Chains A and B, each alone.
Chain A
């Protein structure tokens, strides 16, 4: 079965650089979520999109932005990178129904290292 695809899988950037993470959801899934997970921490919700519109926002820094495109893939843009941005970034997708989205399926993650 098709899974969520994320690229790149690993990314090394220097402080103050920018990074773009991409997520391709499972076919026919219209909702995408982004999470940040630091070492030993639970995933922290960043932002979600439903039908190409932002549906909810969590603890996403102002330096980060994201969008969902017409083909439902999503990109997370990160600028002015800081050392503290080093983490695993997961994307998840879900089919949505009335009242909100349901089971989420996670991609393999992008490991971002800021040096």
Chain B
């Protein structure tokens, strides 16, 4: 099993819908997780970090962490065409100074 796994998509949702992005991880990563958004040819942009079980909300974004099931998810409410991008799930390794990225999920929001 890869350390961080994501469905590469593409995931297509209509404008205004909720987009749900999922990520699973192995025992070889620490308990620090991050979601980044990356537009084509641009650098990753941090959206959310989550370290504790449960939900964390920031505007239209909600990150969810379930340590028992080893998954992390990102919900985007009221999806906009400008949300169309690749979303990268990432975790720190157990040493804390190496970030392991998932392959990314491409999201398309249709107007």
Contact = CB atoms under 8 A, between A and B. Distances in A.
B46 A56 contact: no
Contacts of A41: 103
A31 B88 CA distance: 21
Contact of B97 (A101, A103, A107): A101
Q: How large is the interface on B (under 10, 10 to 19, 20 to 34, 35 or more residues)?
A: 20 to 34
Interface of B is mostly: strand
B101 A42 contact: yes
Given A45-B100, A100-B30, A56 B44 contact: no
Interface of A is mostly: strand
Contacts of B42: 108-109
Contact of B49 (A58, A100, A103): A103
Contacts of A24: none
A50 interface: yes
B43 A103 contact: no
Given A33-B99, A43-B88, A45-B99, A108 B30 contact: no
A108 B43 CA distance: 5
Interface in B76-111: 88, 92-93, 95-104
Given A105-B46, A106-B45, A100 B96 contact: yes
B32 A100 contact: yes
A43 B102 CA distance: 9
B96 A101 contact: yes
6 contacts: A43-B101, A45-B99, A56-B95, A58-B98, A106-B43, A109-B43
Interface of A: 31, 33, 41-45, 48, 50, 55-56, 58, 88, 90, 92, 96, 99-109
